[in-house]
Structure 1
Amino acid sequence: MYGSHYFDALPVELIADILGELDLSSLIKVSYLSRRLRAITSDSSLNPWRQPILRTLRDTSQSTPSSAYDPSLANLSVRVTVPRQNWVEILSIAKAEWLLFSATLPNLPSKDWQEAFRRRFLPGWQKWKKEGSWKEVFMKLLHRTWHRSHSSCTSDEAWTKYIVLNRNGSANELESSSRTFNPMTIFNEIKLQNNHAHMETHVRLVLELTDVRILALGVLHKPRSSFSVNKNAKTFLHPPGVEKEDHEDDNESDEWRSTHSENSTFSNQEHEMEAPTTEQQRSQPTTHANLNQTYRRLAHPLPAPSHACYPFYTPGGEDKRWLGSGESEEHGRQWIGSLMLTAQLIGPQTKENFTDGPPLQDMDLLVGAGRSQYSSFSWPDLKAIAPWLELTKLIDGPGLGH
């Protein structure tokens, strides 16, 4: 009795924080215990539901079936005490098969569906919105992504686009038949054209999203001269001024909460990445404060927890963009020739280690089950994930763009 009295005397903000530590099923029960608790849990500004929802979605890995979600999550939309704003995040990061086949989806305004679309999918995928509502195009692309990640069907996208960063500062947007799309085969031809056929191909995981991950294929070598070095490759993989040690001691869960902060739900200006100009890169010293002014964590699309701090370094072991220091990569090598960028669809087996080599790099990213389906990666996608990249020319198709 006395405990209840003291609990009721607490500020509502503190009560909301306490409720946020409960699991989802317990919070549902607590929300109906009293009028005051019902009012607190229904308040969209307090929103104690957010942390339990995020924990439920995060605690299951990509290889875990969606049935591992707390069963109460599936029918959360019928609970009048749950603010609708939580569904923007659920739609952005929940597994596609769960959203398609298990969840009861709420009625949301068009701007919420649009925000969920921008968070979940690559910007280039907006080409599919020709007619219909944002909900319609969201659900169509969600089903298409799930279907392609579980099968070899390519009927909905006959041609797959990819981008090649050239060492002369230009870039080409190319395409290949989706039915036979194989980045290793394509890059072997690129190496042959650059007279690098005898050199080993290295693959790096640049960024992981909810449904796709961006891969970069290139050649690491100790060049005889700077003429063959691809400066764009280095700049793309390592944003100027950003180093691994700058964020090595950050707490990963804090980074996730900051990236998904409630205040950023509909604020594009706070979290959209801003491209640093060349003058800014030259004039500003490399400090933590300046980097936070120059770069913004990616919010559209929203990275997976393994890359939550992107373009900064994300602790946890899966952000493997930094394997060396300074101008060189591991063993003093540099990126030479062309760098190929492509988007690989994530399926149930995509993240299972397959080769004997190091995980999440080189052949482990390309060889094995769940690694044969790709989606288009185009100019809007490159601009979204690397706005700091300064290209001399954007060329549609092969050639020099004359």
Structure 2
Amino acid sequence: MPTTLESLPVELIATILGELDLASLVKVSCLSRRLRHVASDSSLNPWRRPILQTLASGNYEQSLYHLSIRSIVPRSNWIDILALAPPGFLLFESSLPNLKASEWEECFRKRFLPGWLKWKKENTWRVSYLKMLYRVWHRAYTSCTTDEAWTKYVVLNRNGSVNELESSSRGFSPMAIFAEMQFQSNLSHLTPTIRVVVTFSDVRVIAIGVLHMRRSSLTDNHNARAFLHPPGIEATDALGVNSRVLHDSPYGHERDGPSGNNNQYSCSIFVSYNKLTHPLPAESHRNYPFYTPGGGDRRWGSLEEQGLQWVGGLMFVEVPCCQGMWKTESEFGASWNHFASFTWQDLLTIAPWMKERVTKVIDGPGLGI
């Protein structure tokens, strides 16, 4: 007796359907009752793979634009679409589905940084999500600063403290602010280094600091290195691990302190890492905080392999992702005046291992009391 597609187990049918492109899957799901049943089963969900492939490609098929009108598509797939698709597509081109309040909350938390929860107020999660999405789109493509007159940024000092600062959004210039920081730290003669820490659907988190050949361990910013290179994770770790025990030294790769006594400066600590899911990183940083192959994750720069260390303060800002803006770190200085607020809460979300390293969080300038 010949084997037909519909005589196969439903799990195998779902796997086969998941290999189709989105347009073909829509057609195949209408061929018979059995295929329709398999396609509409939320536990099998053959839609997830082609949807994620379409979102990653950036070349959206027409079938994605109004996918919400098809009842056979499990609603859970829309959490991924609402978390990863561009704001303009969601706001002006696609048909949005009817979701539960808990699902809209999941979409909000999976797309936006926790510092943006201040905009929710008394609105429902659906309204908050759509308003925030429009705010992101508006801020990325215009120079309007009505919604956010002051832009927050974070500075990680070499003494272990963190300052959450703010500046007028209309004249906000990270490079000018960092130039003043360099002057105060007697580092004006050195060229700043810019690194993309992680990219999300709407924003990039940028670190601005100074890499320099070590002259004294007193000038090194060990927390800057720990932030950009989580202790125990190497650039070759593409899959990641949940946790590990490692030996951590305040002198970076050098296990010996100034006196050469390894035991005096090294300590065994337990560090737990998990892939970031709330908010969900973009494809270029999908494994964050672990290394993501493909060229987009450049936290492990070639310069540091030559023995350079981070010195002075490390500044963190948030830049909206939009067309026409800079695409590489070297183009950042000439970018438009488009920035968003980045808070200590946001920093702790993308780097929870820094909670044990930071000695003091200061709201505003100064050393704190």
Whether TM-score is above 0.5 comes out as yes
Structure 1 residues 343-352 or 161-170, which shifts more? Answer: 343-352
Counterpart selection for 1:350 from 325, 329, 337? 325
Q: Is the 8 A contact 1:47 1:83 kept in 2?
A: yes
Alpha carbon RMSD of aligned pairs, Å? Answer: 2.3
Show the counterpart of 1:377. 342
The letter for the 1-side match of 2:317 is T
Counterpart-to-counterpart distance in 1, 2:281 and 2:14: 27
The letter for the 1-side match of 2:282 is A
Alpha carbons of structure 1 residues 393 and 56: separation in structure 2 relative to 1, 3 Å = same
- 1:310-348 per-residue CA deviation (whole Å, 9 max, x = no partner) reads 101100011001024xxx814311100100001111111
Alpha carbons of structure 1 residues 99 and 187: separation in structure 2 relative to 1, 3 Å = same
The letter for the 2-side match of 1:283 is S
Q: Which runs of 4+ in 1 moved over 3 A?
A: 273-279, 281-284
- Counterparts of residues 26-105 of structure 1 (less than 5 Å): 26-60=24-58, 68-105=59-96
> Scaled by the length of structure 2, what TM-score is found?
0.90
Alpha carbons of structure 1 residues 278 and 164: separation in structure 2 relative to 1, 3 Å = farther
Please state how far the C-alpha of 1:367 moved relative to its aligned partner: 2.2
Counterpart-to-counterpart distance in 2, 1:126 and 1:180: 25
Please state how far the C-alpha of 1:69 moved relative to its aligned partner: 1.3
1:244 correspondence with 2:232:
no
Please state how far the C-alpha of 1:52 moved relative to its aligned partner: 1.1
1:310 correspondence with 2:285:
no
Please state how far the C-alpha of 1:364 moved relative to its aligned partner: 2.3
Please state how far the C-alpha of 1:275 moved relative to its aligned partner: 11
Unmatched 5+ stretches in structure 2: 249-265
Counterpart-to-counterpart distance in 2, 1:31 and 1:44: 14
The letter for the 2-side match of 1:31 is S
Q: Is the 8 A contact 2:155 2:162 kept in 1?
A: yes
Counterpart selection for 1:114 from 105, 118, 122? 105
The letter for the 1-side match of 2:333 is L
Please state how far the C-alpha of 1:351 moved relative to its aligned partner: 4.8
Alpha carbons of structure 1 residues 215 and 275: separation in structure 2 relative to 1, 3 Å = farther
> Scaled by the length of structure 1, what TM-score is found?
0.83
Please state how far the C-alpha of 1:224 moved relative to its aligned partner: 1.7
Counterpart selection for 1:332 from 295, 303, 307? 307
Alpha carbons of structure 1 residues 91 and 205: separation in structure 2 relative to 1, 3 Å = same
Unmatched 5+ stretches in structure 1: 61-67, 256-270, 285-289, 353-359
Counterpart-to-counterpart distance in 1, 2:69 and 2:245: 45
1:146 correspondence with 2:142:
no
Counterpart-to-counterpart distance in 1, 2:278 and 2:28: 34
Alpha carbons of structure 1 residues 51 and 118: separation in structure 2 relative to 1, 3 Å = same
Counterpart selection for 1:224 from 187, 209, 215? 215
Query: Which secondary structure does the structure 1 equivalent of 2:278 belong to?
Result: coil
Counterpart selection for 2:21 from 20, 23, 26? 23
Show the counterpart of 2:164. 173
Considering fraction of residues, name the structure with more strand: 2
Show the counterpart of 1:184. 175
1:398 correspondence with 2:365:
yes
- 1:111-137 per-residue CA deviation (whole Å, 9 max, x = no partner) reads 111111111111100011111100101
Q: Is the 8 A contact 2:232 2:244 kept in 1?
A: no
Please state how far the C-alpha of 1:180 moved relative to its aligned partner: 0.7
Q: Is the 8 A contact 1:218 1:336 kept in 2?
A: yes
Please state how far the C-alpha of 1:197 moved relative to its aligned partner: 1.1
1:295 correspondence with 2:273:
yes
Counterpart-to-counterpart distance in 2, 1:75 and 1:231: 50
Query: Which secondary structure does the structure 2 equivalent of 1:152 belong to?
Result: coil
Counterpart-to-counterpart distance in 1, 2:313 and 2:47: 47
Number of residues of Structure 1 aligned to a counterpart in Structure 2: 351
Query: Which secondary structure does the structure 2 equivalent of 1:244 belong to?
Result: coil
Counterpart-to-counterpart distance in 1, 2:205 and 2:243: 20
Counterpart-to-counterpart distance in 1, 2:78 and 2:318: 26
Tell me the percent identity: 53
Q: Is the 8 A contact 2:245 2:268 kept in 1?
A: no
Query: Which secondary structure does the structure 1 equivalent of 2:352 belong to?
Result: coil
1:134 correspondence with 2:114:
no
